[in-house]
Amino acid sequence: MPALFRAPVRLLLPVLVGALVATTLLTAPAADASVHDRERVSRHVITARDIALHQIGDRYAYGAAGPNRFDCSGLVYYSYHRAGFGGVPRTSSAQAGHARHISKKALRPGDFMFFTSGSGVYHVAIFLRWVHGRALMVHSPQPGQRVRRAFPWTTQWFAGTLRGR
């Protein structure tokens, strides 16, 4: 290469490399927004679980959704709304219809446990973890009792989640 062209190429090389990098960045696929959304939802689910755990000891009251008294679905409604999930319905049967049904094996902390009978969903709890093959949950059981951790009294329940909705 003639000496006349070497100096301008040396000066232009950083400019050309910079332009190439900028073009690559502008045309590269954006970070996967769905991954970010899934992480955000998972953080909110854990926050909802933690809010429910802070209600342990609060009294049961039919139709109550907090802040100091709860029925089962009121505890879920209160916890999830405080965690930033505005669309969670108020009743357990509506919550079951709103959640994505998953296998019991797929349950993760903060997911839902819906209890059923021949007439449909009658109770909801928030899953905490597996303990020796049994699901540990937090729930507001019934009149005269308080929000607490417990194991299910029946196998007639199914799992639901807001993750991946």
State the catalytic residue, choosing from 36, 54, 72, 101: 72
Alpha helices in 28-148 (DSSP H): 33-53, 72-82, 92-98
Q: Which of 36, 101, 132, 139 is catalytic?
A: 139
**72 in catalytic set:** yes
* Known catalytic residue at 98: no
Alpha carbon distances (Å) from 52 to 35, 43, 49, 55, 139:
26, 14, 5, 5, 8
DSSP state of 106: G
Tokens 């094996």: give the residue. 105
Asked about 139 being catalytic, the answer comes back as: yes
Both tokens assigned to 97: 């219809």
- Give catalytic residue positions: 72, 123, 139
